[in-house]
Amino acid sequence: MKIYNIKFLFAALCASFLVVGCSNDDDNIGGTPPPAEVDFTGTFSQVDHMGRPGINTVLSGSADIKNMHNVTIPSMMQATFQAAFEAQLEGLHDAYAVALGFTAEDVDYQPNILGDILNGAEPTSEDNPNPVSATVLTTVLANDVLEIAPNNVTTYFTAGVGAPTFEGAIGFTGRRLQDDVIDVSLILLFGGETGARFNGEGGFPQLVTDGVSLTADNITTSFPYIGAPE
């Protein structure tokens, strides 16, 4: 009997040590673990912006401007780069004029389809001008940020009923995976009032598309939401 009593006493002591060794921190076993501590100490550097892909590539007149734009905070972008971007936009039109044998006035920048979005259904006229001048456009594009419109449909650009009126068009209210942002950007830069000015016809080069499309069947509902390259 004494041997059994000693065994039971030893087992009871072991159980008491286990109870004392546990704390309230173990109450969430099997539940959500506490948040991990993140160490943000150190030196970090910004190397790129991707709010509107391709804008910096097209409108930066040199590698130095491009690299500087990539490391500039958005609040400083407009003041720093708008004038350079506008000069590059006008310069590209002048270059195409020379290449095509036209005068610069014949191939000058033409206010684009965003004016129809701002004006509504009324066509552009002297009383209802298209406000998207080269200055206005490059002011918008110099800021490499992606606007969000919480109370509107999310889209980089939707053409509504199409050219030339673009009635019901919506632009810069966000970005969907299926939005072809490069084509939209090229249309804003070179498409003019109809969106098809440099469309490869009438002796003009094809500048309003890169010829690469994202097919609908390549969009998935699970991460990373884009299928394998086709």
Q: Are 145 and 51 in contact (CB under 8 A)?
A: yes
Let me know if 112 is exposed, middle or buried by CB neighbors in 10 A (0-12, 13-18, 19+). buried
What's the one-letter identity of residue 214?
A: L
Return the pLDDT at 226: 80
Q: Are 134 and 109 in contact (CB under 8 A)?
A: yes
Select from 159, 141, 142 the least CA-distant residue to 196: 159
Q: Are 135 and 120 in contact (CB under 8 A)?
A: no
Return the pLDDT at 120: 61
The pair of structure tokens assigned to 35 is: 């948040």
As a whole number of angstroms, the distance between CA 24 and CA 73 comes to 46
Select from 188, 214, 197, 223 the least CA-distant residue to 112: 188
Return the pLDDT at 31: 65
* Alpha-carbon distance values, 61 to 67, 68, 86, 91 (Å): 11, 12, 10, 9
Q: Are 69 and 56 in contact (CB under 8 A)?
A: yes
How far is Cα of residue 34 from the mean position of the Cα atoms in its chain?
34
The structure tokens 């506008």 sit at 86
Largest CA distance in the chain: 115
Return the pLDDT at 52: 84
Q: Are 187 and 208 in contact (CB under 8 A)?
A: yes
* Alpha-carbon distance values, 109 to 2, 82, 94, 157 (Å): 104, 16, 9, 20
Return the pLDDT at 119: 63
Name residues of the chain where pLDDT drops below 50: 1-11, 13, 17-21, 23
Select from 80, 39, 73 the least CA-distant residue to 59: 80
pTM reported for the whole predicted model: 0.71
Under DSSP, is residue 127 helix (H, G, I), strand (E, B) or coil?
coil
* Alpha-carbon distance values, 112 to 15, 27, 72, 136, 165 (Å): 80, 63, 27, 11, 11
Tens digit of pLDDT for each residue in 29-58? Answer: 556 777 778 888 888 877 777 788 888 989
Q: Are 175 and 185 in contact (CB under 8 A)?
A: no
As a whole number of angstroms, the distance between CA 103 and CA 100 comes to 9
Tens digit of pLDDT for each residue in 94-107? Answer: 999 988 888 887 88
Return the pLDDT at 171: 81
What's the one-letter identity of residue 94?
A: D
